Chain A
Amino acid sequence: MSGNGVRKYIPFFGCLISTKHSHFEAAVRRTAPKLGMELVDVAGFTCCPDPIYYKAADTLDWLTVAARNLSVAEDVGHDVLTCCSGCTLTLSEANHTLTHDDGLREKVNQRLKKVGREFKGTIRVRHIATVLRDDVGMEAVSASVSRPLEGLRVAIHYGCHLLKPERIMRVEDPARPVILQNLLRAIGAEPVFNTRHMFCCGKACQDEDLSGRIMHDNLTEFSDLDVDALGLICPTCFDEYDLGQIQLSRKSDRKFRIPVFYYFQLLGLAQGFSPDDVGLKRHKVSAKPVLEKLGLVAPVKPG
């Protein structure tokens, strides 16, 4: 492990993870200490607010609410650790915009003043995957693993807002990312290249028919590759692929059954946590085939 000190972060789980996907929060909270990360919980956050609907309604309001959340974290002084790509986009973009645009910062701070707050731009917003790469290090991720996920073939879905817009995110080239492949290799799994790993999941499109057709084509590619699982780092993409897969299979000739995992659930399994510890029974598409392959549950005998 690089460095002896425990690093402190302020977790921002956001609406989706703290409510509908609390098992993702559990996976993060359980795996982080083994990576030398201390999560310092801070009271007083609201919705980030979401970068699709809320920003579409009123960009200034969106920046204002985001700036308020950032000011809550600034009072404590550690970097904000985001676990959802939507929260990452909102808080990163607000942090960037308000640091670079003096006029907008002043405008927003006039509003925050009413509740005795001020956005200063003194901390960073970082998606937890980038913290694993940049602070923890891939070797330390590997060292935390007691049960490598050997032989598990995982298709990656990057989602859009871990990497884009690149001028703000500064993670890596969004056309050729490697961060998630490396994180999967670090826990012993095999990332399976697919031509759709950078394609949008479609969930942030208000036209549900359109997003359904995108999903159908994405899932067709993953199914044709005969992967064991789909791995991702965004709760919105997760919804689209997990519940969405069931809904799509009802409407489509092809039945899709690819177990979907939030990366930290896979990391949790590799660190020795049980399937229940990371909430796998909450998934709509059963994770059982993967658990059987990993030897974590007995295979069902035919007949």
Chain B
Amino acid sequence: MIGGVGHSACFQCGACVGDCPGARYSERFNPRQIMLMAILGLADRLVTRDSLVWDCTNCCNCVEHCPQDVQPMEVIIAIKNMIRDRGLFPEKSETIVGAVLETGRTVVMSDLIHKRRRELDLPALAKPPVEELAAILETDNG
């Protein structure tokens, strides 16, 4: 696991909650509670297909406000990594990851994209070296 390893320093002050768009707009999302579950060794309960961790907006405010440098957003991302490891990753997200591996981009190319670049006198887009991506990403994922 990379990142999200400092949660045991969390003393549950709640500084991560006040400025959290997720907490403000989602009834079920509360970064302090997620940290509590991580401290208690219960983060596994958040490793589900419709996990509330997907309500995180990735804004980094919790990272900024935490007096203990726990980096709650990184704990949440570590849980998302676990969700993918269990094969429970959301389909839309998996499609984007697949597109990067296959084409080197998140956006699917089209004739219109090339045409619009020509209209703006922009240089033609080269094909990204996807074979290099395949080579550097093989093995470890087993």
Contacts and interface: CB of A to CB of B under 8 A. Distances in A.
- A and B part of one assembly: yes
A63 interface: yes
A18 B77 CA distance: 27
Interface string B106-130: 1101000100110011110110111
Contacts of A112: 136
B116 A16 contact: no
A213 B93 CA distance: 21
Nearest to B93: A53
B3 interface: yes
Given A26-B121, A46-B105, A205-B58, A59 B81 contact: yes
Given A22-B116, A206-B92, A47 B104 contact: yes
Given A46-B130, A47-B100, A204-B57, A55 B77 contact: yes
Contacts of A197: none
Interface residues of B, number: 55
B26 A60 contact: no
A10 to B, nearest CB: 14
A22 B120 contact: yes
Interface in A25-71: 25-26, 29, 41, 43-47, 49-61, 63-65, 68
A60 to B, nearest CB: 6
Nearest to B129: A44
Contacts of B81: 56-59
Nearest to A199: B21
Interface residues of A, number: 59
A26 B2 CA distance: 37
B123 to A, nearest CB: 7
13 contacts: A20-B113, A45-B128, A49-B100, A54-B100, A56-B84, A57-B81, A58-B81, A64-B137, A165-B63, A174-B64, A202-B21, A205-B54, A207-B26
Interface of B: 2-3, 21-22, 25-26, 54-61, 63-64, 71, 77-78, 80-81, 84, 89-90, 92-94, 96-97, 100, 104-107, 109, 113, 116-117, 120-123, 125-126, 128-130, 132-133, 135-138, 140-141
Closest 7 CB pairs of A and B: A164-B60, A56-B80, A200-B59, A46-B104, A205-B57, A204-B58, A26-B120
Interface of A: 15-16, 18-20, 22-23, 25-26, 29, 41, 43-47, 49-61, 63-65, 68, 104, 111-112, 114-115, 117, 160-161, 164-166, 174-175, 199-200, 202, 204-207, 210-211, 213-214, 279, 282
